[in-house]
Amino acid sequence: MTNTQINDKILELANYLKIDNKCVAHNARLQSIQINGAVIKNFSFKLFNEYKLSFFNCKFLCEINEAPGFFEIENPVYIYGCTFEENVISYNIKFKSNVVIAYCRFNKNFYFEANTFCNSSN
């Protein structure tokens, strides 16, 4: 796939999230996407066992009084250079396997309910 095709797929996936609040992904790589609680409510990612999900330079935002979203992911996840801001603590993020978190920024109350390997920078 060309970079343009990959970008189109990413945009297509982002639009799908905004419409359906649900995503089933195979080797998904979400890059430079802003996931905002004011736009996407009660969204979830469900992945099949053999696939991985990468978040690369994404921003996760959640505004006050918005319905929380959640992640429920059974397979390894790689999160790189992401920002978890504002009231993103209201997101319920459950990983059932190892998570690699590299060079991310979190608000001070943020936590993962998961096995995590952190290389985070605040």
Angle at 99 between CA 97 and CA 101, to 5 degrees: 175
The count of structural domains within the chain is 1
pLDDT digits (tens, 9 = 90+) for 68-96: 445 555 556 666 666 665 444 444 555 55
How far apart CA 25 and CA 52 sit, in angstroms, is 9
Pairing between β-strand 53-56 and β-strand 29-31 as defined by DSSP bridges: parallel
User: Confidence class of residue 121 from pLDDT cuts 50, 70 and 90?
Assistant: very low
pLDDT in tens, 4-47: 555 555 555 554 443 333 344 434 444 454 554 333 334 445 44
pLDDT at position 107 is 57
Of residues 42 and 60, which shows the higher confidence score? Answer: 60
State residue 71's pLDDT score: 52
* DSSP for 22-61, written as a single string: EEEESS-EEES-EEETTT--S-EEEE-TT--EEEES-EEE
- Per residue in 97-114, pLDDT (tens digit) is 666 666 666 655 444 444
Provide the 8-state DSSP code for 8.
H
Closest CA to 78 of 41, 60, 103, 61: 103
What is the spatial distance between Cα 31 and Cα 85, in angstroms, rounded to a whole number? 17
Domain that holds residue 78: 3-119
